[in-house]
């Protein structure tokens, strides 16, 4: 039936949300989730979600272990991020 198809992405999202919790290893995050999933998770928690998969995983593990959002490193004066 059509109603199951409509709600399927939401069910997947809830499952993915529950599985990323304290104690998960960086290797598990790398193997089980794609960059888009990790970005969504970070964005929802107001953690910097820009960067490579490895950087996202570091931020997530730090957040889960400490409960603190990683501090953004500012670039030296006169330097800008690549767009």
pLDDT digits (tens, 9 = 90+) for 5-49: 444 555 455 555 668 999 999 999 999 999 999 999 999 999 999
> How far apart are alpha carbons 25 and 76 in whole angstroms?
32
Instruction: Say if residue 82's pLDDT is above 80.
Output: no
pLDDT at site 1 = 45
Instruction: Please enumerate in sequence order all residues whose Cβ is within 8 A of that of 58, keeping only pairs 6 or more positions apart, or say none.
Output: 26, 70
Instruction: Say if residue 52's pLDDT is above 70.
Output: yes
């Amino acid at each position: 039936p059509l109603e199951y198809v409509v709600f399927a992405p939401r069910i997947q999202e809830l499952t993915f949300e529950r599985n990323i919790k304290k104690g998960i290893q960086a290797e598990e995050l790398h193997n089980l989730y794609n960059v888009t999933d990790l970005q969504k998770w970070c964005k929802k928690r107001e953690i910097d979600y820009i960067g490579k998969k490895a950087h996202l995983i570091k931020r997530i593990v730090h957040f889960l272990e400490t409960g603190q959002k990683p501090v953004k490193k500012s670039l030296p004066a006169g330097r800008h991020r690549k767009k």
